[in-house]
Amino acid sequence: MIFDLAAAKQHLRIEHGDEDAYVTALCEAAEQQFNNYTGRVLYERQSNLAEAPENALNLSSDIEAGAWVLIGALYENREHGDGLPLPTKLLWDPYRWLAV
C-alpha cells in the first residue's frame, strides 16, 4: 500500500483503531483511483524504476496531497460520491499518461 495508514488517520483526525480496516481500504482505493485516472503505475517514494513499466511513477508530495483530499472526501461521504474532488484532479492532472 502506497499511502500510509498512520498518515491517513492523522489527516482524518482519527485517534482510535476501530476504523483501521476501513481507512486501509480507502488508502488502497485512492492508490487504485490514481492509477486508473492517470494511466500510471504508482510506486513508493524513491523506488528504483529501472525494471518498472514505462508509465511508472514515484509518489510525490502533490500526488499524496491529492490522495488525502480524496480519502477525506470518501471518509466524510461514505454513501454519496460525486467522482474525484476538484483539488484531487488539479493535483493529479499533470501526471496523466496520454497514449499517442
Whether the predicted pLDDT of 99 surpasses 90:
no
- In this prediction, residue 13 carries a pLDDT of 95
- In this prediction, residue 98 carries a pLDDT of 87
**Residue range of the domain that includes 11:** 5-95
Please report whether residue 53 resides in a domain: yes
Please report whether residue 100 resides in a domain: no
Please report whether residue 30 resides in a domain: yes
Find where cell 501526471 sits.
Answer: 95
Whether the predicted pLDDT of 100 surpasses 80:
no
| pLDDT (tens digit per residue) in 60-97 | 999 999 999 999 999 998 877 778 999 999 999 999 99
Split into its structural domains, the chain has a count of 1
Give the mean pLDDT of 11-35.
96
